[in-house]
Amino acid sequence: MNNNSTATGYGVVLVTASSQQEGEAIAQALVEAQLAACVNLMPVHSIYTWQGKIHSEQEWQLLIKTDLTQFPTLEKKIRELHSYEVPEIIALPIVAGSQPYLEWISSNVKNEKSDGRQ
Q: What is the CB neighbour count within 10 angstroms for residue 33? A: 14
**Rounded Cα–Cα distance for residues 30 and 67 (Å):** 12
What are the sequence ranges of the domains in the chain? 5-109
| Of residues 81, 80, 69, 72, the one with CA closest to residue 110 | 69
Beta strand 90-93 pairing with 53-67: unpaired
Taking a C-beta distance cutoff of 8 angstroms, is the pair 75, 83 a contact? no
H/E element holding 25? Answer: helix 20-32
Residue ranges in the chain whose pLDDT is less than 50: 1-5, 114-118
CATH class of residue range 5-109:
alpha beta
pTM of the predicted model, to two decimals? 0.87
Beta-carbon contacts of 19 under 8 Å, excluding residues fewer than 6 positions away, are: 60
**Rounded Cα–Cα distance for residues 117 and 47 (Å):** 41
Beta bridge partners of 45: 58
**Rounded Cα–Cα distance for residues 13 and 106 (Å):** 15
Supply the pLDDT for residue 8.
66
Supply the pLDDT for residue 4.
45
**Rounded Cα–Cα distance for residues 38 and 65 (Å):** 5
Supply the pLDDT for residue 81.
98
